[in-house]
Chains A and B, each alone.
Chain A
């Protein structure tokens, strides 16, 4: 790896660094005018101001379902992993998938056990053009977030960066104990889980890819998946 600020940078970068930091420090030596600085408010934590989610798991599931439906994601709740495998095999049939993309993960392997299709496993190394040819991707995740109807995954938990965004249909397999109430809980989980070794990428996925750039009219599948299916295994 080339060292940072190497000879390829056109100027002596450290000179600019020191100059910018000196300007920042000099600027802040003068305190902010109290007429524009609101007095610091006592914060009771972010959960207290964000959309509320009641504490029981069944409440969480209700909120998650409501949000996911509003986002046009499809939520299926099979009771067991075997039932999930049947559901997924039926999906593959319904949508005429011909190539499947997955990553090595026990839950993904069990859930896709019923699908007899050529498959690409990203974490064994892959060619991007091959992944682009796949009809669907099945991944695990780190958590689901009831408050926003989101899926949290990382490069470590979901087979890299591209698997969950390049194929046109993304299927997430999760278990009910992965359902968190809100965003503060999800960020706390990220810190707890990866403090020692951060994956290079993490993302909160909230519904299928969308755009409103033409006349503010909603269109799904702008560049990422047109369809997002969440298989949530287990009873609350």
Chain B
């Protein structure tokens, strides 16, 4: 029996793959990214060495994660920052809701945080009666369109200007033009006063610096700076794997994140937050909270191979180069993190039995591994996930098939006999392809089996003697 997630995946992928115009639009959007990124990579004195070095920073962070987390917390506490350890999504949500309630908040302004998508924070806050507004332009667009982000770096990349205009017409007032400039300015006007009126600002964190006790946020629009500057309370959500050892490490990781994320050498604003407003400072929040989220990250950490995937800096480069992402789009995955990295971590953050199919959304071409700025072995992890999914599967068909394959391959006489049968089968199989009597109709309706060669190598060799 297919899981509900798999049934949805099958339907969504078929629909998206059939929408040729949308696929072309997404490809065109990504073409600009490839050009800019290539030029930026060429600026580095030694880009391959930069990848090696970035990979090593994240390995050191991960392999000493316990010590770094404790150091990070201690430094934050010493400056009056509240630190909450959340074992799961519910704990993180409840903590945020408790802060909102205690502060008597009404309006919450958010800057981009995928961790909040992961724990479904917006729904929880709205159910509890709070007004929630996303301030990142792409996030605002998908929020107003009542859909999840399409891509965890470019949330609204699937929408054309005309569609965005009609979303804005419906929700924030009629506009005269669908020009990107005009649309952006409409969002700017809409949000300006919200920053000043909001009681609480919620952000993510790209890095947590253990040595200093600070979070680092990377952005382009300035919305995150305003979210963390104006409201009286700042809550930052952060996965425990975002820790890095030293402040100086940002000098490499921030350019790598920008280069691979958008093709910029450095994004517009790279900010550090160490505390709430300090004595003598003219502004900033009265309270700062950092929520450290586990939510099964330690489950991935316990796997001596898959823990590699926790080094991810969420640049999104693997999505941008993935031939499958380009064809099935971000929404088909049906999870928070799309693309190759999503297909690696999501089945393990959730349930490999229900989401194992995501690991098959790959041609295993390895483009993701080749492009990853911290050298995560993505496509091999997809293979490892497939093995785990097959082991976890209740349906034994695949297991039996592979056992039968092993049995045959160990017995050359049996293989050569099956070859003879296949040559006969070819003659009847071709006309039956994809029809109702075809036992492999589901697979063969869109695929053709390679023809069995007329002679085996052994036969051919005998005639040469």
Asked if A and B are interacting partners, one says yes
Q: Which residues of A pack against B, CB within 8 Å? A: 1-2, 4-6, 8-11, 13, 16-17, 19-21, 23-28, 30-33, 35-38, 40-41, 43-44, 46, 48-52, 67, 103, 122-126, 128-129, 132, 147-148, 150, 155-156, 159-163, 165-166, 182-184, 186-188, 190-191, 198-217, 219, 221-225
Query: Shortest CB–CB separation between residue B213 and chain A, in angstroms?
Result: 9
The residue in chain A whose Cβ has the minimal distance to the Cβ of B65 is: A24
Q: Which residues of B does A touch, CB under 8 Å? A: 29, 32-33, 43-47, 49-50, 52-53, 55-56, 59, 63, 65-66, 69-70, 77, 79-87, 91, 94-95, 97-99, 102, 135-138, 141, 154-157, 159-161, 164, 180-181, 183-185, 187-188, 191-193, 196, 212, 214, 220-223, 225-226, 228-230, 240, 247-248, 250-252, 254-255, 262, 264-278, 280-284, 287-288, 292, 294, 298, 301-302, 304-305, 307-308, 375, 377, 380
Pick from B99, B228, B268, B375: contact of A210, CB under 8 Å: B268
> Are A206 and B80 in contact (CB-based, < 8 A)?
no
B196 touches A11 (CB 8 A): no
Q: Is the CB of B32 within 8 A of A216?
A: yes
Min CB gap A13→B, angstroms: 6
With the chains together, A150 CA to B188 CA distance in Å?
24
- In the complex, A19→B192 CA distance in Å? 42
Q: How far is the CA of A222 from the CA of B193 in the complex (A)?
A: 14
The complex places the Cα of A206 from the Cα of B271 at a distance, in Å, of: 11
B220 cross-chain contacts in A, Cβ below 8 A: 209-212, 222
Instruction: Say yes or no: A160 contacts B192, CB within 8 Å.
Output: no
Q: Are A30 and B302 in contact (CB under 8 A)?
A: yes
For A162, what are the chain B residues with a Cβ–Cβ distance below 8 Å?
226, 229-230, 283
B248 touches A204 (CB 8 A): no
Q: How far is the CB of A35 from chain B (nearest CB, A)?
A: 7
User: Given A46-B248, A51-B265, A190-B247 in contact, is the A36-B282 Cβ separation under 8 Å?
Assistant: no
Given contacts A41-B53, A203-B272, contact A222 B252 (CB under 8 A): no
Give the complex CA separation of A37 and B49 in angstroms. 16
Q: How long is the Cα–Cα vector from A182 to B66 in the complex, in angstroms?
A: 32
By a CB distance below 8 angstroms, the chain B residues around A49 are 44-47, 49-50, 53, 252
Distance in angstroms between the alpha carbons of A155 and B161 in the assembled complex: 37
Interface of A is mostly: loop
Other A-B pairs, 14, CB within 8 Å; known A28-B66, A40-B59, A204-B269: A10-B97, A23-B298, A36-B308, A50-B252, A129-B196, A161-B228, A200-B275, A206-B264, A206-B269, A213-B156, A214-B159, A214-B184, A222-B220, A223-B223
From residue A114, how far is it (CB to closest CB) to chain B in Å? 25
B29 contacts A215, C-beta separation under 8 Å: yes
Contact, CB under 8 Å: A216 / B302: no
Q: A38-B375, A48-B46 are in contact. Are A160 and B248 (CB under 8 A)?
A: no
Using Cβ atoms and an 8 Å threshold, which residues of chain A touch B99?
A: 8
| Assembly CA distance A63 to B53 (angstroms) | 24
Cα–Cα, bound, A155→B282 (Å)? 8
CB distance from B298 to the nearest CB of A (A): 4
When the two chains form the complex, which single residue of B63, B251, B266, B377 contacts A36, counting CB atoms closer than 8 Å?
B377
**In the assembled complex, how far is the CB of residue A119 from the closest CB belonging to chain B, in whole angstroms?**
14
Cβ-defined contact, A222 with B63, below 8 A? no
Q: Distance (Å) between the CB of A220 and the closest chain B CB?
A: 9
Chain B residues lying within 8 Å of A4, measured Cβ to Cβ, are 77, 81-83
Query: Which chain A positions have C-beta within 8 A of B79?
Result: 198, 200
A8 to B105, CA, bound (A): 14
CB contacts (< 8 Å) of A210 on chain B: these are 220-221, 268
Contact A202 B271 (CB under 8 A): yes
Given contacts A20-B298, A166-B226, is CB(A51)–CB(B53) below 8 Å?
no
Given contacts A51-B44, A198-B275, A200-B273, contact A155 B56 (CB under 8 A): no
CB proximity of A83 to chain B, nearest CB, Å? 29
- Give the complex CA separation of A183 and B249 in angstroms: 10
Q: Are A222 and B137 in contact (CB under 8 A)?
A: yes
Question: Which residue, of A9, A24, A225, has the highest number of chain B Cβ atoms within 10 A?
Answer: A24
Question: Which of B53, B187, B280 is A43 in contact with, Cβ under 8 Å?
Answer: B53
Chain A residues lying within 8 Å of B301, measured Cβ to Cβ, are 23-24, 27-28
Report if A24-B240 is in contact (Cβ < 8 Å); known contacts: A5-B84, A222-B137: yes
Are A213 and B281 touching (Cβ within 8 A)? no
Say whether, besides A49-B45, A209-B221, A20 and B294 are in contact (CB < 8 Å). Answer: yes
In the bound complex, do residue B45 and residue A48 qualify as a contact, i.e. CB atoms below 8 Å apart?
yes
Complex CA gap A142/B370 in Å reads 38
Assembled-state Cα–Cα distance A16/B294 (Å) = 10
> How far is B271's CA from A33's CA once the two chains are assembled, in angstroms?
35
* Chain A residues within an 8 Å CB radius of B154: 212-213, 216
Q: Are A27 and B283 in contact (CB under 8 A)?
A: no
B254 touches A207 (CB 8 A): no
Residue of A nearest to B181 (CB): A219
A147–B44 CA distance with the chains assembled, in angstroms: 10
Please determine whether A198 and B251 come into contact, CB atoms closer than 8 angstroms: no
A32 closest partner in B (C-beta): B304
Q: In the complex, what residue of chain A is closest to B191 when comparing beta carbons?
A: A223
Expressed in whole angstroms, the Cα–Cα distance for A23 and B85 within the complex equals 13
B87 neighbours in A (Cβ, 8 Å): 16, 19-20
